[in-house]
Structure formats: structure tokens, C-alpha cells
Amino acid sequence: MTSERDAPALLLDKVVKTYGSIRAVDGVSFSAAPGEFIALLGPNGAGKTTLFQLLAGLFVPDSGRIEIMGQDMRRNPVPALAKLGIVFQQPTLDLELTVTGNLLFHAGLHGIPRSVAINRIEAELARLGLSGRAHDKAAKLSGGNRRRVELARALLHEPRVLLMDEATVGLDPASRGDLLKLLFSMRRERAVAVLWATHLCDEVSGADRVIVLHHGKVLADKTPAGLVADAGAHTIEEAFLMMTGPQ
């Protein structure tokens, strides 16, 4: 195990997950440094969801290794998962609880003392422009603001890796852009590695790296400009379609 000080924020080494004859994740290897924003770009069925389930500890890979800040997910799952924040594709707020109520419940699950949790909640809501909505029920919030609350929740326990699983599904273009801007501005400030899963090419141009996943395999791991140049394309979308379209 690598020491936390020298470890990448996230490490995957030859990770495999099969379901019967289907290799949903097929030998995936990559790493993410603290503060790095990586876009995981793939069409529906590429293996993104399965990969995120493995990273979240919901399933165990058939083979390969996953580490978070040097902690092996198989051998030391509790300290590894403690360094992980997640915003799922499907909304997960309790709509009958207030914004603060949702966040306090999450803080309790992580064993954060109430006094500490209150201070963190106030700070996160202020940073995300939601201080005035702290006592509103989640049901009263727009889709974009609910996503902001889910982001605040994911950051409460001060993770070192943040997983964003198709987090803009159902949001209008302005809300999608606002969420991305928030993440770009905070990831270096907090030295949080962000893994952003999406099938939308217009969401990846600002990423440090783009990993193209297709049929469970990594087809490319490049900067956005490098992805376009290596494919001999004019745009990210064109490069993506050249790699993942019908052969």
C-alpha cells in the first residue's frame, strides 16, 4: 500500500467486473491526482455505472485493484470509503426534510459531531449560494438547487475523491453549466480529485483529462485537445463518435 502522502487520490489497476459472459469493466487502469478533474466519457452501456458501483464499494471487482488515497478498497474498505464523496445519477434527497435536515442526517452517518456539522453545513450552503434555502424543504427546490444540496452533502465529510455520476441528468443547460463551474472552481482549492461520468461531449471540454470508455475498455486517456488531435477530428464530439461509433 502506498502512503497517503505519496499516493494518487484515486488508482485503478487492471479492474475487471463480469456479469455472466459480459465484461462490463474490462481491465480498466488509470489514476487521478489531487485536484484533477477527469471526465469519464462513454455512451450508454459503456460500463460507467458499473465502474462507479465498484468505486463506491457497492460491488467488488473480479480482479484488479482500486485504491483511494493509498487505501485498498478490498483490504481496507472503511478508510477508503471515508475519503470518497458521491453524487449519484438518481436524486437521493429526502424531499420531506429541509435542506439542513438532509445534510445533518448525512453528517450523522459519517459520525460528524453536530456542532462541527452545523458549521460545515453553513459554510457549504454559503459557498453554493443556498444560505437562504437552508430551512426550506428539499421538495421546494429546483432541480439545479437539489443537485447543489447533493454536492454540499458529498463534501461535508471532506472527501479527497468526488464521484459525479451523470449528475446533470434532467437539468437545463444553465444549471448544467453552473454545476460544472462550481466543481472546476473548488477542486483545486480543496485538492479534491473529481471523476465526472457523462455521455455528453459538451461537458468535458474543461476537464484536465478525458477518459473514453466503451464496452468496458479505456479507448483513450488524453487532454481534451489531445483527444481531438489524435483522432484527426475537429471537435470532441467528432473524435468521440469516431472512436465509439459503428465500425
What are the pLDDT digits (tens) for 171-183? Answer: 888 888 888 988 9
pLDDT tens string 188-219 = 888 899 999 999 999 999 999 999 999 999 99
In terms of domains, do 3 and 77 share one?
yes
> Count of domains in the chain?
2
More confidently predicted of 197 and 187: 197
Residue 158 phi, psi (nearest 5): 55, 60
In terms of domains, do 163 and 221 share one?
yes
Which domain, by its residues, includes 120? 90-158
With vertex at residue 10, the alpha carbon angle to CA 4 and CA 11, rounded to the nearest 5 degrees, is 100
HSE of 78, CA atoms in CB hemisphere, 13 A:
3
In terms of domains, do 126 and 186 share one?
no
CB of 90 closer than 8 Å to CB of 82: no
The pLDDT, as a whole number, for residue 24 is: 95
pLDDT tens string 13-41 = 999 999 999 999 999 999 999 999 999 99
pLDDT tens string 144-175 = 999 999 999 999 999 999 999 988 888 888 88
In terms of domains, do 194 and 73 share one?
yes
Residue 18 phi, psi (nearest 5): -120, 150
In terms of domains, do 97 and 26 share one?
no
In terms of domains, do 76 and 198 share one?
yes
Residue that terminates a domain, selected from 137, 158, 179:
158
In terms of domains, do 166 and 73 share one?
yes
Average pLDDT, the chain: 92
In terms of domains, do 73 and 173 share one?
yes
Residue that terminates a domain, selected from 158, 184, 199:
158
User: By three-state DSSP, how is residue 44 classified?
Assistant: coil
How far, in Å, CA of 63 to CA of 94, rounded?
Answer: 36
In terms of domains, do 148 and 96 share one?
yes
Q: Which helix (H) or strand (E) holds 162?
A: strand 161-165
The pLDDT, as a whole number, for residue 238 is: 95
Q: What's the mean pLDDT in 133-147?
A: 94
Q: What's the mean pLDDT in 80-105?
A: 93
In terms of domains, do 70 and 191 share one?
yes
For the CA atoms of 11, 124, 130, 112, the dihedral, rounded to the nearest 10 degrees, stands at 100
In terms of domains, do 11 and 77 share one?
yes
